[in-house]
Structure 1
Amino acid sequence: MSAGWVAGAVRARALTVRCPGAAGAREIAACPSLDEALRRLGGTPYVKYAREAAGLPEAQRAVSATLLWHLRVLAGWLPRGGARLLVPLVSGFEVANVVARLSPSAGRGTDAPGSPYRLGALETAWRRLDQAATPAELRAALAASPWGDPGGDTPWALVTGMRMAAARRTALTVPQAREWAVARAALLTARELFVYGRSLPGPVRRDAARLLGGRAPDAASYQEFRDGLPAPARRLLAGVEEPEGLWRAEARWWRAVRDEGAALLRDSRPGPGVVIGAVAVLSVDAWRVRAALESAARGGRLGEAFDALA
């Protein structure tokens, strides 16, 4: 193993040390107000960005911005070419940028809450996407990039296409995260087909079939969909008898990422496995803290989804 991967593994483990973890997130969630919860962030890595947050959306975005900064720092410690491993894993930030880009009310100033996340070397095609003046131009820019054609230029088609493409790219290029990507694709497909009642655009359906097999994306019922899934995704939906219960599968997905990421971080020799484990642990911690801040903003009332993970 190269010295670069050894250094990257050391840095990866170091980045997870100050995470609040489940106990810290529960303390934040139990705060009677958002202001108190933000004060609780003072001893965590999230304080740098959350210090000036004026409300819940800004506070949650600050947590996500901290996660992205940590992943950019981690990428800088990896050997030449190693950062490419992280690009599909942070693609959700580029999706979030496009969601904001498509929102008429999104702020465009560099310091506004809706300003784009800065991905640096971890971007896929954001600078080209940001230059698109219309949804049609945005679709063309996606089609000419590793994202691929989303199959339409409505906001829904653009974002759904990117989300499924993120799962496809992760499964193809990050072996340690393949099962997470497959399960994520199952959740996305189930929601679109059986919660929102929308047919998948052609390219999205093809990506879903690559990840889930041909039966599930064409299923006529939710039960048929579940029965047609590959094993990792079928386990995710075990016991979720109706589409309205998919939030439970979402919490189960986060638990699996948390547990498997922690195992990679703990058991892997210096190399890509440790790095992927750190990305998973950091991502779950940020998700948990975002949920904790929402609970505090509601007066310290813990939601079922938070309890299912924490």
Structure 2
Amino acid sequence: MGAGWVAGVTRARAMLSRALGREKTEEVASAPGLEAAVRHLSASPYGRGLLPGTSLGDAQQAVAAAFLWHLRVLAGWQPLSGAHTIRLLASGFEIANVEDHLRTLTGVGPPRAPYRLGALATGWPRLARTGSPRELRAALAASGWGDPGEATPAAVAVGMRVSAAVRTATAVPEAARWAAGRLALLVGREVFVARRSLPRLSAERAERLLGAKAMAATSFTDYRRELPPTAQWAVAGIDDEAGLWRAEGRWWDRLDEGGWALLRGSRPGSAPVVGAVAVLSADAWRVRGALEGAARGGRRLEAFDAPA
């Protein structure tokens, strides 16, 4: 392991102190209201940007932004290949920025401050300058994201997530199963819950991880059966599409467990860094869910489905 990786891995392990942990997250979820939960978090590593009187959505975004800042700091300590790995694992933030930008372009919602990606951006500065859905699609097609196939909000959201999963599985071996499982859940929700067919280009990309038979399935039962083992685990035990919401929470639990396993291993190089990002990701997801629980009057984490 080169000197760059030694520093990067050391910093990755140190960054775990930024995780709140399950016990303290339970305390946030059990707070008697959102305001109390925000006060609880204000002195935590997620306190950056949390203000009294904030809405649930803004509080959850502040938690995500704090997590993103931790990733940016971590990436700064990595060799070039490590920074690229973290950029791929942080793809969801650029997707969120693009979704907000597209909502503004289509007049669906008011502008919202984008996540500050810094060196973790893939194509965001150029994507942010587009002035129409058509221009946005063209800019995506010319970037590492690839053409989503259509310019509609749904097609762009799905296309970017499919692209992120495929690129991550290809370039980050330690995260390949997570990416394939996440993609299996995405396609399952789109096709069998929302009853929307994926645009052809996105379907072709998804096929690289999920296989042609799964992508051609006409029922959830057939879809689950035809998925390769690298993705099938994410929907194991789910009898029908109505149960996919349970699989979502289980995916995050597996991400957390897998992250700790990578951190405990002795494999040199990127594995501990990927593990740290996984653990921090799951922690931020649980904290955002805990805020929702508190906003509902104080509920244990097991009592609700935390947001992705």
- TM-score normalized by the length of structure 2: 0.94
Residues 146-199 of structure 1, C-alpha deviations (whole Å, 9 max, x = no match): 100100011111111001111011011111000000001100110111001111
Taking the aligned partners of 1:84 and 1:9, their CA distance within structure 2 comes to 15
- Aligned twin of 1:118: 116
- Aligned twin of 1:73: 73
Shift of 1:52: 5.2
- Aligned twin of 2:160: 162
The number of residues matched between the two structures is 304
- Aligned twin of 1:140: 138
- Aligned twin of 2:296: 298
Shift of 1:4: 1.4
Shift of 1:43: 3.4
Alignment equivalent of 1:192, drawn from 190, 193, 197: 190
Shift of 1:285: 0.4
Shift of 1:202: 0.7
Residues 242-276 of structure 1, C-alpha deviations (whole Å, 9 max, x = no match): 11110111111101100000111222445201110
Taking the aligned partners of 1:3 and 1:230, their CA distance within structure 2 comes to 38
Superposed, 1:148-227 pairs within 5 Å as 148-227=146-225
Query: Which ranges in structure 1 are unaligned for 5 or more consecutive residues?
Result: 109-113
| Residue 237 (structure 1) aligned with residue 235 (structure 2) | yes
Does structure 1 retain, via aligned residues, the 8 Å contact 2:259–2:278?
yes
Taking the aligned partners of 2:59 and 2:166, their CA distance within structure 1 comes to 30
- Aligned twin of 1:59: 59
Does structure 2 retain, via aligned residues, the 8 Å contact 1:288–1:306?
no
Does structure 2 retain, via aligned residues, the 8 Å contact 1:53–1:59?
no
Does structure 2 retain, via aligned residues, the 8 Å contact 1:67–1:282?
yes
Change (3 A) 1:271 1:306: farther
Q: Which amino acid aligns with 1:175?
A: P
Q: Which amino acid aligns with 1:86?
A: I
| Residue 98 (structure 1) aligned with residue 116 (structure 2) | no
Taking the aligned partners of 1:42 and 1:303, their CA distance within structure 2 comes to 20
- Aligned twin of 2:22: 22
Taking the aligned partners of 1:307 and 1:196, their CA distance within structure 2 comes to 18
Which shifted more, 262-271 or 201-210?
Answer: 262-271
Taking the aligned partners of 1:17 and 1:193, their CA distance within structure 2 comes to 39
Q: Which amino acid aligns with 2:70?
A: H
Taking the aligned partners of 2:140 and 2:166, their CA distance within structure 1 comes to 15
Q: Which amino acid aligns with 1:117?
A: Y
Taking the aligned partners of 1:107 and 1:263, their CA distance within structure 2 comes to 42
SS at 1:86 equivalent: helix
Residues 26-46 of structure 1, C-alpha deviations (whole Å, 9 max, x = no match): 110000111111111133200
Query: Which ranges in structure 2 are unaligned for 5 or more consecutive residues?
Result: none
- Aligned twin of 1:38: 38
Structure 1 stretches of 4+ with a deviation exceeding 6 A read none
Shift of 1:235: 2.0
Q: Which amino acid aligns with 1:245?
A: G
Shift of 1:292: 0.2
Taking the aligned partners of 2:45 and 2:140, their CA distance within structure 1 comes to 34
Taking the aligned partners of 1:147 and 1:53, their CA distance within structure 2 comes to 37
Q: Which amino acid aligns with 1:192?
A: E
Taking the aligned partners of 2:7 and 2:85, their CA distance within structure 1 comes to 16
RMSD, aligned CA: 1.7
- Aligned twin of 1:111: none
Shift of 1:303: 5.6
- TM-score normalized by the length of structure 1: 0.94
Identity between Structure 1 and Structure 2 (%): 54
